[in-house]
Amino acid sequence: MWGSGLSLTGLPLLVVCWIGTKLAIGLTIVGWRHGGPARVFTRTVSILLCEAVALFTLGVVANRAFDLYPSWAALLHPVPEPKPVPVPAARLDGWLHGRDLRGAKHGVTFAWEPPGWGGWGLAGAPTVFAPQAYFDGPALRFPVIVVAAPPQTGPAQGAWNDRQVLETMVQSRAAVVVFLRLSRAAGTAAAGAGGTVTDRLPYALSLDVRVSSHGWALVGIGADAALALTALAQRPERYQDGVVIADGAAPLPPLVLAQVRHGSLEQPRCLVARVAGGVLPPAVRLLLVGTAPARLSAAMAWIYPLLPAPLNPPEIGPIGIPPKPRPRRPHPRSEFTPGPPRATPARAAGARPVLS
Partner 1 sequence: MEPNGIATDAVAVAGCVALAVLTAWAWKATKRFWAWPLRVLTVLACVAGSLAVAGITVNLKLNLYTTWSQLLGPGARTGTVKPGRVVSQGQGGSRVVTFTIVGRISGISVSAYAYLPPGYGAPAHAHTLYPVVEAVDGFPGSPNTWLVSLHAARMLDREIQAGRMAPTVAIFPYQYTSPTHDSECVNAAGGQQWETFLTRDVRAAVTEQFRVRTDRAGWGIVGTSTGGFCAVNLALRNPDMFAATASLSGYFWALTDRTTGDLYRGDRRLRLENSPLWRIQHLPVPDMPVFLSSARDDRNGYASLQHFVAAARPPLSVTTVLVPQGGHTGGVWLVLEPSVYDWLSGWLAAPEEERGPRA
Binding residue for partner 1, selected from 104, 111, 279, 354, defined by CB under 8 A: 279
> What are the angstrom distances between the C-alpha of 50 and each of 19, 21, 25, 57?
12, 6, 6, 11
Reference 221, options 200, 196, 191, 201; nearest CA is 191
Q: Is 5 in the site for partner 1 (CB under 8 A)?
A: no
- Of 275, 287, 348, 354, the residue at the interface with partner 1 (CB under 8 A) is 275
Within residues 94-133, the interface with partner 1 by CB under 8 A covers: none
| Amino acid in the structure at residue 338 | P
CB atoms within 10 A of CB 106: 19
CA 201-111-248 angle, to 5 degrees, is 75
Q: Helix H segments across 155-306?
A: 162-169, 184-193, 196-208, 225-234, 254-259, 293-303
DSSP letter at 116 equals: T
Nearer to partner 1, 19 or 319 (CB): 319
Give the H or E element holding residue 329: none
One residue of 98, 286, 315, 342 binding partner 1 per CB under 8 A: 315
**Closer of 106 and 173 to partner 1 (Cβ):** 173
- Sequence-separated (6 or more) residues with CB below 8 Å from residue 198: 146, 148, 190, 218, 227, 230, 231, 235, 239
Among 10, 23, 71, 345, binds partner 1 (CB under 8 A): 71
Minimum distance from residue 322 beta carbon to partner 1 (Å): 7
Minimum gap (Å) between residue 156 Cβ and partner 1: 34
Site for partner 1 contains 66 (CB under 8 A): yes
Q: How far is CA 169 from the centre of its chain?
A: 22
Listed residue (261, 289, 265, 285) closest to 275, CA to CA: 285
Q: Is 327 in the site for partner 1 (CB under 8 A)?
A: no
Provide, rounded to whole angstroms, the least separation between the CB of residue 354 and partner 1.
Answer: 26
**Is 281 among the residues that bind partner 1 (CB under 8 A)?**
no
Closest CB 18 distance from partner 1, rounded Å: 17
Q: Is 287 in the site for partner 1 (CB under 8 A)?
A: no
Which CB sits closer to partner 1, 42 or 344? 42
Chain positions contacting partner 1, by CB under 8 A: 32, 39-41, 43-44, 47-48, 51, 54-55, 58-59, 66-71, 73-75, 77-82, 137, 139-140, 173, 212-215, 233-234, 236-237, 240-241, 275-279, 283, 305-309, 311-323
